[in-house]
Structure formats: structure tokens, C-alpha cells
Amino acid sequence: MNFRQIEAFKTVMACGTTTRAAELLRVSQPAVSRLLADLEKATRLKLFERGKGRITPTAEGHAFYNEVRRAFIGLEQLHFAAENIRSFSSGTLRIASLPVLGHAFLPRVVGAFCAGNPGLSIVLHIHSSETVKTLVQSGQFDLGFAADEIDRAGVKASLFANPDAVCVLPSAHALARKAVLTPQDLADERFISLASEDAARSRIDRAFDAAKVKRRIVVETQYSATICNLARSGAGLGLVNPFALLGLDRSGLAVLPFKPAVKFRTLLITPPSGLVSQAAQAFIAMAERELPRA
């Protein structure tokens, strides 16, 4: 028993004659008759009475047709399910992110993505970069955004964003009038630093070491957004990921370029299998389009 035999049987039952069924299936009438005979042989059921150039369904034929219709309803449901998956009109996309992208940048992307795909649900969780990696590696989340200090074993990781650090300081600070700040400008200034485990902290340290400039670190903290708020409150100045400025109240805060460039690298994390859904691929493409351009 094969699909072509079932299709011929269903079509004959629906339209009543082998001639009309042949037209719909775009085959010859004898071909339809052969398919029906082969189906009866395969099922060992007498599905039709034949006589005077006509066929009439038997009781067994009607019973079998009821089962065939139920099976085709299931196939149609699979077709609709495939269409929904293809068009992102159903399902859930699970995204994990480190805070610097998760608090403002990704909500902006999610808003635009949801507007274009109203049937798709989004789960957006904010975690440390190591937790983001674990959630994607374990299959609990579809994709993640993490800082580059994570151990990349067990996931696929690619560079997503690589912006230059900017210096934040109180708008009333004397240095706020400069166009660009350098390590020499920050010598002996009250400096708000990222925590020592942050990979960007190491790059910042190297920039000051290369310039032979010592900083006066007064506060250490984990997040760029916290550095921004500390700077606005007058605690000092610091170098931050510019993504932290998105959606932030910048009143009383000056933001200046810093040279030499110090990079804040963010990774896109996907499952170790390399399998990424079409919805996740579309989200990634939209997120890349939303990246600020230098």
C-alpha cells in the first residue's frame, strides 16, 4: 500500500467515478483502475463493486474511506503546522542575553520583530554571560548574546558586536570640553572601573599600561550602565560599552570618544548542533541590521 493508491482511492470516493478522478489526478482512467485494484490487493479488502462500467463502494470501502479522511486531516494539520513554522506565525523564540544588550538594544529588536511576526512569542531573559552560554548549550534557549570572556567550549560562538569604548563623565567636569580623551587625560582622575573578570577590563588596563598612565580607581563594578550612573552622580569617570547608553537618561552626563580604541566584544551564541531555526535566523538578521553604525 502506498500514498498514490490511497490518493486515487480518496479521489474516486470524493468524485464518484474513475473517469473524473483520472482528470483530477492527471492520469489515465486505466491507471486509476490499476491503483484501486492494487490497493484492494494490498489491504485484502473488497472496496468496490464493479459492473456495467460503474464502480460502487462497498461497506468496507466506506469504512476504509472514513479512516483515510481522518489520516488526510492529520496530513493537512501537518501542512498547516509547517506553514506556521515557515511564516513564524506560531511558536516561541527563546533568547538569553548579557545585561548591556538585554536592557535596551534587544528590546528594540524584539519590538520590531514582534511587529512583523505577531503570532510568534518571544522569551527574553537577562543573565550573566556564563549563564547565557549554559542556557544555550543545554538547549533551554535558542540563541544568546554574551561577552567574549566566556569559555566557548560546547557552543558555537561568533562575533556579533565590536564597538569602541567611550568615556563617560559628569557634564560639568573640565574634561567634558575636550573632543577626544586619551589615557594621559585621565591620569590621576577618579576612575570607575569594570570588574577584574571582565575581558574588556583587561583591554582597558593594557591601554593605560602601554601609555604608562596610572589611574586612581575609586570604584569597581560589573556593568557599564552602573558606571554611567556613578559618573553622573559625580563619583568619577570611566570607560563603557556604548550599548549601555541606549535608553539611558543622559542628563548631566558627558560622553566622549576615547583613543586608542578599546573594544567591547559581544558574541552571538548558538547551539552546539549548529541547528538554528528560521525564526532565530530572521531575528539574528534583524539584530545585525539594528546595530549602530560607526
Q: For residues 106 and 96, what is the distance between their CA atoms, to the nearest angstrom?
A: 10
pLDDT at residue 172, as a whole number: 95
pLDDT in tens, 45-61: 999 999 877 889 999 98
**Using an 8 Å Cβ cutoff, are 257 and 164 in contact?**
yes
Q: What is the average pLDDT across 94-98?
A: 95
Is 276's pLDDT higher than 90? Answer: no
CATH 1.10.10.10 domain position(s) in the chain:
3-87
* HSE of 149, CA atoms in CB hemisphere, 13 A: 16
State the CATH class of domain 94-156+270-290: alpha beta
Is 82's pLDDT higher than 90? Answer: no
pLDDT in tens, 142-192: 999 999 989 899 899 999 999 999 999 999 999 999 999 999 999 989 999
CATH 3.40.190.10 domain position(s) in the chain:
94-156+270-290, 166-257
Contacts of 175 (CB under 8 A, 6+ apart): 169, 181, 185, 186, 189, 237, 256
pLDDT in tens, 19-76: 998 998 899 999 999 999 998 999 899 999 998 778 899 999 888 888 888 877 676 6
Q: What is the dihedral of CA 169, 174, 180, 181, to 10 degrees?
A: -70
pLDDT at residue 100, as a whole number: 94
pLDDT at residue 27, as a whole number: 92
State the CATH class of domain 166-257: alpha beta
3-87: CATH topology is Arc Repressor Mutant, subunit A (1.10.10)
